[in-house]
């Protein structure tokens, strides 16, 4: 059986997902066969495994960090919000239905066998499993039914490192309050404390670390500096998703992603975030859409609700106005459906000659191939290779038959998540935009998202090795 270590946080946004990924990369570099595990995740940013199962995107990143093929065993329960108080429940990578919060809370203990069976399968093929918790481990009103924090730690007998985020302030109160709300048997599992996202001179923090010993006898495992990383975070907490009213750099190519209420897989566009002379924003403002050089409607977990919301905000009119002046408009997955003529009995934006009907079964598959010849505006994309995955309930019929992409004038739709991850496709899009905007500067070289991700994981591992007490970490693992 594999040894293990659990990363818990004082709150959502403590940085558990990224720290887990970094530790997995570090331990892999040290020669161990490692795997990630998160028993229950709530996220709209998801990924499809090679065998057609759905997991949280953060666990896919962690699998990449570990050098492992992504498996549904790494995230046996995924909750995808469909409304204010409801989620689609996905178990072992497949949907089992929609539940409101109370219904799921009363039923979730029945999924413990699924969690333990998944963990056992990973354990047979790993030296170390690094487990990520969720939210806070001391939501005392929820503790009796916990299957993701200390409840899971007890089930798999895991020691814990507790992480606090210093960036918003109050980190000592976060850590002490969390520990003091734990019963002694849970507190005994916490072998080290981590302060994450520290900015500035760490020597100024050192007296506080010493003074903290008066209140808590759990040692500090390290202080991790704030890092700008091009890695996937949990969708609800990413700084990237903070919507903007408009563009800050008028001389750059302007990309506007509509920040839908139920936006999913926003990482589809992250390859553009650090491209020189390109500004990408997430926005809910019609003016920003009209001002953009490229408009993107992303995926959504609730297509009809988000289409209604777009109409209420006047964004449907803004998107049509952009298309009428030949501004490129691209829809991914749910965004593709919105661009069509109809979705069930609801009228779409009618910018693409397609009609969508929802089905009972979800399409889950990885895809790869070469784009066919494309006439007109998007002709430069013809013949370009792509890889990606599809996650959708709708079945879309096109006038010209099924294809990887459907185009009409300056409008393009596709079901492929990860469509832009290819440096070839992303670079072609940027080149087209430079030409359209009359920018004479050389088009910057773009690396594939996979290459960038690997470099960032190595950089994160170096940072953790330099700033964590690795002897303490290995003792917590039991090595």
Q: Which residues carry out catalysis?
A: 333, 417
Report CA Rg, the chain: 23
Do residues 149 and 137 lie in contact, with contact meaning Cβ atoms separated by under 8 Å? yes
- The rounded distance, in Å, linking the Cα atoms of 25 and 43 is 23
- The rounded distance, in Å, linking the Cα atoms of 216 and 214 is 6
CA neighbor of 244 nearest in space, from 277, 281, 287:
281
Which H or E element spans position 6? strand 3-9
Q: Which two tokens stand for residue 372?
A: 């066919």
Using DSSP, state whether 335 is helix, strand or coil. Answer: helix
- The rounded distance, in Å, linking the Cα atoms of 190 and 369 is 48
Q: Which two tokens stand for residue 448?
A: 């594939």
DSSP code of residue 241: G
CA neighbor of 45 nearest in space, from 418, 461, 435:
418
- The rounded distance, in Å, linking the Cα atoms of 121 and 7 is 20
In 68-78, which positions are buried (b, 16+ CB within 10 angstroms) versus exposed (e)? bebbbbbbbbb
297-to-20, 219, 225, 228, 364 alpha-carbon distances in Å = 31, 47, 35, 26, 20
**Residue whose entry in the numeric block shows the structure tokens 């975070």:** 233
Which H or E element spans position 223? strand 220-225
Strands (E), 291-337: 294-297, 299-300, 329-332
**Residue whose entry in the numeric block shows the structure tokens 């890695």:** 231
Do residues 273 and 449 lie in contact, with contact meaning Cβ atoms separated by under 8 Å? no
Pairing mode of beta strands 54-56, 46-48: antiparallel
213-to-167, 169, 172, 195 alpha-carbon distances in Å = 21, 19, 11, 15
Q: Which two tokens stand for residue 389?
A: 């995955």
- The rounded distance, in Å, linking the Cα atoms of 223 and 163 is 10
């Amino acid at each position: 059986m594999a040894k293990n270590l659990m990363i818990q946080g004082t709150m959502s946004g403590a940085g558990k997902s990224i720290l887990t990924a970094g530790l997995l990369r570090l331990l892999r570099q040290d020669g161990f066969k490692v795997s990630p595990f998160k028993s229950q995740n709530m996220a709209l940013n998801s990924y499809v495994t090679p065998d057609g199962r759905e997991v949280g995107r953060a666990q896919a990143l962690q699998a990449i960090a570990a050098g492992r093929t992504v498996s549904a065993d790494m995230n046996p329960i995924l909750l995808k919000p469909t409304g204010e108080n409801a989620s689609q429940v996905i178990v072992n990578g497949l949907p089992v239905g929609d539940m409101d919060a109370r219904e799921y809370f009363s039923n979730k203990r029945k999924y413990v066998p699924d969690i333990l069976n998944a963990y056992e399968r990973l354990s047979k093929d790993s030296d170390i499993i690094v487990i990520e918790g969720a939210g806070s481990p001391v939501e005392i009103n929820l503790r009796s039914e916990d299957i993701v924090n200390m409840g899971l730690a007890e089930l798999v007998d895991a020691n814990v490192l507790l992480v606090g985020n210093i960036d918003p302030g109050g980190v000592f109160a976060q850590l002490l309050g969390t520990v003091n709300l734990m019963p002694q048997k849970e507190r005994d599992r916490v072998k080290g404390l981590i302060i994450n996202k520290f900015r500035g001179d760490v020597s100024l923090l050192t007296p506080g670390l010493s003074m903290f010993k008066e209140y808590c006898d759990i040692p500090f495992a390290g202080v991790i500096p704030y890092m700008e990383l091009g890695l996937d975070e949990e969708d609800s907490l990413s700084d990237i998703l903070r919507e903007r009213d408009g563009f800050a750099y008028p001389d750059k190519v302007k990309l506007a992603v509509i920040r839908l209420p139920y936006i999913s897989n926003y990482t589809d566009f992250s390859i553009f975030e650090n491209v020189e002379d390109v500004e990408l924003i997430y926005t809910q403002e019609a003016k920003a859409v009209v001002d953009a050089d490229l408009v993107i409607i992303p995926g959504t977990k609730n297509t009809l609700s988000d289409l209604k919301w777009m109409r209420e905000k006047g964004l449907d009119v803004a998107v049509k106005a952009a298309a009428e002046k030949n501004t490129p408009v691209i829809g991914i997955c749910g965004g593709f459906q919105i661009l069509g003529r109809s979705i069930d009995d609801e009228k779409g934006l009618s910018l693409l000659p397609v009609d969508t009907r929802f089905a009972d079964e979800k399409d889950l598959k990885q895809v790869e191939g070469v784009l066919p010849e494309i006439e007109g505006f998007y002709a430069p994309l013809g013949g370009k290779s792509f890889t990606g995955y599809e996650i959708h309930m709708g079945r879309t019929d096109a006038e010209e038959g099924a294809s990887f992409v459907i185009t009409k004038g300056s409008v393009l739709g596709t079901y492929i998540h990860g469509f832009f991850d290819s440096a070839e496709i992303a670079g072609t899009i940027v080149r087209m935009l430079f030409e359209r905007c009359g920018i004479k500067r050389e088009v910057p070289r773009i690396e594939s998202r996979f290459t960038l991700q690997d470099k960032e994981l190595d950089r994160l591992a170096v940072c953790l090795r330099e700033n964590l007490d690795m002897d303490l970490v290995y003792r917590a693992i039991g090595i």
